[in-house]
A and B are shown apart, each in its own frame.
Chain A
């Protein structure tokens, strides 16, 4: 059984370590915050200028001056600090954030990441993604193993314009967990009942045993 979105997010939560400062991307990565172990001290960074991001507000708590990088209303915590955009990216680019979990369109076997534009389609912009992959200590991608046409999103070489070159450390897909290593992808773990044959059949990137 391949993992569903929540199971992928739960698996990604195992990447967290007590005391980590973490930036979560939009989409499935946001769900990871639902699976943080209770006894862990995790601080979420939001690149619009907040460290220590809280839950969504109740109707009474809504504050238009308090949003996350997805422009959603959020709340603050006792530990929260606010800062400007250059300060926010100083901590990102400067390697002070331990982990970023991001979505992707394609990942190559050398750790290239493409997640910001499809040529010929409307380009909305990269936001903070290029800075995150260039600066954060460890980059974990969560994405489906295949696209809607059934083609592998783990490739020998990305076909889409890159967000970063050789930046991805680990990929979590609905089929399993894969590390970017010398020579290709190393299978770290497989979802229940997924076989190596299935992984080989559905992966274009080289698999290192």
Chain B
């Protein structure tokens, strides 16, 4: 089965619908699937539930999906970089479910690995654990968190091949491998699309079984906090 597509729009063809759940890789603006986000914006689909560590910034990344109020709910650990997000949230147009960062990562990992729930000490005794099952193991209390799956996963990798094998670059990896496993369908955008057999087989982070569609994108790679020292 052919997995390679020419661009984001064709790679998303037939996958998008109103009210769907999408998981998106990226940390801040690092390693985000820029092309797929833009294409989802252009599709105009609405009432989306999106799980992603952050919500982009005004006018870039997932922030683009807020401009036409396409997002109904975000599942994130931190959304502080986005004024439009805050406006829509305070106006009641946007729902937010805060997940501790490690819990969000593990929910995606578990969801993709066929694990419907797991116990973690993270959040015990806080608002996060309210209404959730608590259980004691070896004298310590843990809270039950659910695995997370989505209709669609959108991820960004450095190199990928025609079989969907992916490798990520430096901290642009972040949530992408977990998201790739959690989608009913996973679409990957890569900086370099290479022939099968050219990736180092021992350095593949996401095996191709998780990826149904892949294309080569153009990446701006915007930097959020440009911090330097003197040369």
Contacts and interface: CB of A to CB of B under 8 A. Distances in A.
A73 B224 CA distance: 8
Contacts, number: 176
B205 interface: yes
A48 B171 contact: yes
B86 to A, nearest CB: 6
Interface in A4-56: 46-50, 55-56
A136 to B, nearest CB: 11
B105 A65 contact: no
A73 B228 CA distance: 7
Given A65-B171, A131-B100, A73 B105 contact: no
Given A67-B27, A165-B126, A56 B102 contact: no
Contacts of B230: 58
A164 B101 contact: no
A164 B126 contact: yes
A82 B126 contact: no
Given A49-B174, A73-B227, A84-B177, A131 B101 contact: yes
B101 A59 contact: no
A56 B114 CA distance: 40
Given A56-B228, A85-B53, A127 B77 contact: yes
Contact of B77 (A57, A128, A162): A128
A48 B32 CA distance: 13
Contacts of B2: none
Given A62-B223, A65-B172, A165-B125, A89 B27 contact: no
Contact of A125 (B31, B98, B177, B178): B98
B170 interface: yes
Q: How large is the interface on B (under 10, 10 to 19, 20 to 34, 35 or more residues)?
A: 35 or more
Interface in A69-109: 70-74, 76, 82-86, 88-89, 92-93
A71 B28 contact: yes
Interface string B59-95: 0000000000000000011111100001000100000
A125 B76 contact: yes
A125 B102 contact: no
Interface in B96-135: 96, 98, 100-106, 108-109, 120-128
A160 to B, nearest CB: 11
Contacts of B86: 122
Given A64-B223, A76-B170, A126-B98, A55 B79 contact: no
Nearest to A85: B105
Contact residues of B: prevailing secondary structure? loop
Contact of A67 (B53, B77, B171): B171
Contact of B106 (A66, A74, A89): A89
Taking each of B86, B168, B174, which has the highest tally of chain A beta carbons within 10 Å of its own beta carbon? B174
B229 A58 contact: yes
Contact of B126 (A46, A88, A122, A163): A163
Contacts of A50: 170-171
B52 to A, nearest CB: 11
Interface in B28-57: 28-31, 53
B1 interface: no
A124 B228 contact: no
Nearest to B120: A93
Contacts of A154: none
A183 interface: no
Contact of A57 (B98, B109, B228): B228
A71 B173 CA distance: 14
A64 B228 contact: no
